[in-house]
Structure 1
């Protein structure tokens, strides 16, 4: 049973000097391929370097390149050129993480929207999929996407945590949906239990968002409280439970979906 983790923040400081052991545990748990998330120019460059340093085969590790909406204020005229150069590197398989976050508003909303549009324009130009972040901003995200969607090859709303209206609107726009350990959180994620059944096969993917969002259903819990890709099978278990599908079935169709979305190779022995 193979899994693909479409979103792991392996450049996070909590993983420093532990990256290889984190990956070894992931592989041992059946997480065979991983997409390392870039959230600014520096982390996008670091993610690219990690794919090259830690994946001699060139078949297991891939990365994204983008500016998280929290960092939209740091966007400069040079940023777009730096991103474009990164996106032309072979292990980089998606534009992002980019999007809108009206929950924390760490950057002004108008600037977030400007930077999102710049990412979407890059994705159209390069014909690459988009890795999207959205919190409390689904209506604005949809309004902005509407002008680009026909020209984008694909886009995924990563770490979906929204309500039914947002989910159905995303699906109507032919977007993919990423589900994390949020679905395992009895305090704030139970609304996802019935919704996950409504995500069609071929649109659903799984992600850890490690080191964040440790699945609260995980037993035993790690003493350090840090999430890892090795715990993705717990997200799989919860998703399978609420979809009424076997874990093997969900693993198979989410893995096939991720491979098609990001253009990842089939693994060879």
Structure 2
């Protein structure tokens, strides 16, 4: 079983002391490739550096999360465009809107979001824009409105770490966007509604992720004392996801992996010799 984690914050400082061991544990759990999330001016270059250090295994996104939207300047825009010249950077983002925290003013969030979508549109190949890695929390109406301005200009889109409502999910699916499911699914306090909703996601629109080091699945037993999530737990997430979808784990994993490779344009990985 080959798994791909589409969202791992491997540049996070909690991994600084054991990043190589984290990668090995992921490999041992069947995670053959990972997309390292770039979510700020500081961490997007680090994501690229990690991807370059692990060719064919790690890839990167480059963007500015709405929490950091206030740092989005002309210089930041130029820096992101330079990062996207590297083939290891496979998507624009993490970008979007977050009205739950409001760490940056909402007008600044919308402007940063629009400028990053413009990067994706400008990087079109044969008329198809670069994939976008999206974040939305408590901002659905504005989020969809901004993206509507770029209809026909963007490549494939994934709403990463989906935690929303049925209405939001179907709005995304109606637009042929992809959906990323995390260990939020395993949270009986906040994610119970996802147990039913994931059945409605077409297989060719579904991808899986840990969002490590955040969102350790609450159903992992025994839970690690440090409470840090890491990519090896993707195997646990896909098991829960398959159960909720009424599918065999191997089938859910294989389809999610195929969908992910097609979305990001990732190379195939040879199966280990028997």
The TM-score bracket by the shorter chain reads over 0.9
Name the structure 2 match of 1:89: 86
Name the structure 1 match of 2:204: 202
Distance in 1 between the 2:44 and 2:18 partners?
18
1:5 aligned counterpart, secondary structure: strand
Name the structure 2 match of 1:148: 150
2:213 aligned counterpart, secondary structure: coil
Distance in 2 between the 1:250 and 1:69 partners?
31
Name the structure 2 match of 1:117: 114
Distance in 1 between the 2:270 and 2:237 partners?
26
Given the two structures, how large is their TM-score scaled by the length of structure 2? 0.96
Deviation of 1:52 (Å): 1.8
Distance in 2 between the 1:63 and 1:203 partners?
20
2:75 aligned counterpart, secondary structure: helix
Distance in 2 between the 1:51 and 1:130 partners?
18
**1:50-129 equivalence runs, <5 A:** 50-53=50-53, 55=54, 58-126=55-123, 127-129=129-131
Distance in 1 between the 2:34 and 2:219 partners?
22
Moved beyond 6 Å, runs of 4+: none
Name the structure 1 match of 2:254: 252
Distance in 1 between the 2:209 and 2:236 partners?
11
**1:14-25 equivalence runs, <5 A:** 14-25=14-25
Name the structure 1 match of 2:126: none
Name the structure 1 match of 2:138: 136
Deviation of 1:214 (Å): 0.2
Distance in 2 between the 1:144 and 1:47 partners?
26
Deviation digits for residues 178-217 of structure 1 (CA, Å, limit 9, x no counterpart): 0000000001000101100000011000000000000000
Name the structure 2 match of 1:177: 179
Distance in 2 between the 1:236 and 1:142 partners?
28
Unaligned runs of 5+ in 1: none
Name the structure 1 match of 2:5: 5
* Length, aligned pairs only: 266
Name the structure 2 match of 1:220: 222
Given the two structures, how large is their TM-score scaled by the length of structure 1? 0.97
Distance in 2 between the 1:120 and 1:39 partners?
14
Distance in 2 between the 1:149 and 1:229 partners?
33
Distance in 2 between the 1:77 and 1:116 partners?
14
Name the structure 2 match of 1:237: 239
Deviation digits for residues 18-40 of structure 1 (CA, Å, limit 9, x no counterpart): 11110000000001000000011
Distance in 1 between the 2:250 and 2:140 partners?
32
Deviation of 1:17 (Å): 3.1
Distance in 2 between the 1:27 and 1:183 partners?
23
Name the structure 2 match of 1:160: 162
Deviation digits for residues 34-63 of structure 1 (CA, Å, limit 9, x no counterpart): 00000112101011111122x1xx211100
